[in-house]
Structure 1
C-alpha cells in the first residue's frame, strides 16, 4: 500500500521546474485528493490510508500538509530520488490521468472546484471526509 507521501512524490516528480511548472502545497493537496477519490471509485480501494479532512480551503491530508507547510504558497521542489518501482501499473496510470486532467489547473481553481463537490460540502470543517462519500461522488463523476 502506498502512503500519501508516495503519491505526493509521484505528482511532484512530474513538474518541470525549468519551465516554471511548480506545485504548491494547496495544489498538491487537491491532486492527492482527486487521486484518492478516483481510486476509490474505480478500484474500490484507497490509494493510501492517511485521512483526508475538510479544511477551509478544501480537502487536505493533514500528514502531507505538515510535511510541506514550510513551503507556504511557493512551489515544492521536485524530489530527485523517487523509486517508481513501488507504484503498480494501475496506480501509475491512475495518477498520470489525474495529473493530466487536474494538473493543468491552478491551486485556487482546484480549491474552488472542490468547494462545489459533495465530499467537501457535506463534511464539517475539521472533520474527516469519509472514503464512502468520496467513492460515491467520484463514481458519479465517472458515469457523467
Structure 2
C-alpha cells in the first residue's frame, strides 16, 4: 500500500529544485529539472512507498516529462528559497534532504547525459514506449517505475 503522506504539486517541486540549485550556485535547465523530478518521483515511490508528486511522469521522445512543469515554470527565473509556496515542501526534511542530494550529485551531468540515462534499456520509460499500442504522452506506470528504481542506489 502506498503511503498517504502529503504529495506536492509538480510545479512547486520543480521551482523548489531550481531554487535549491540556485542557492548552491548551480544552474538547472528544463531537461535537468525533468530528470531530477523523475528521480525524486522514482526514489520516493520505490524506496519510501510514497507518491511524491500530484502529476505522474509521461513518456515523451526525450524521456520522462512532467508536462505541467513544462508549461508553468519559467526556467530562466532566479527563484528565492524563501517563497511562501515552498513552506510545506521545505518543512518536509526527507524531501528537502533528497532534493539537496539530487542537486549536489546530479547537477554536474549534462542534460543529454541525464536524458540518455532516462532512456536506459529496461528502464521505466523504455518499458513504457515498447508496449503495444503506446502513444507519446502516455503516463509511465508506477509499477515500471518501482521495478526500475528499486535497483538504483542514490
> Given the two structures, how large is their TM-score scaled by the length of structure 1?
0.83
Following superposition of structure 1 onto structure 2, how do residues 90-101 of structure 1 map, counting pairs within 5 Å?
90-101=94-105
Q: Structure 1, unaligned stretches of length 5 or more?
A: none
**Structure 1 counterpart of 2:147:** 136
Where is the helix percentage greater, Structure 1 or Structure 2?
1
Number of residue equivalences: 137
The one-character-per-residue Cα deviations of 1:75-130 (angstroms, maximum 9, x if unpaired) are 52231253443121111112112222222211111111111151111112331101
Following superposition of structure 1 onto structure 2, how do residues 28-47 of structure 1 map, counting pairs within 5 Å?
28-47=33-52
1:63 is the counterpart of 2:64: no
- Conserved 8 A contact 2:22-2:79: no
| Superposed displacement of residue 35, structure 1 | 0.7
Q: Structure 2, unaligned stretches of length 5 or more?
A: 1-6, 130-135
| Superposed displacement of residue 18, structure 1 | 10
1:93–1:17 distance in 2 versus 1, CA, 3 Å: closer
Following superposition of structure 1 onto structure 2, how do residues 1-144 of structure 1 map, counting pairs within 5 Å?
1-16=7-22, 21-68=26-73, 76-80=76-80, 81-83=82-84, 84-87=86-89, 88-116=92-120, 118-124=123-129, 125-142=136-153
- Conserved 8 A contact 2:21-2:27: yes
| Superposed displacement of residue 66, structure 1 | 1.5
- Conserved 8 A contact 2:18-2:28: yes
- Conserved 8 A contact 1:10-1:82: no
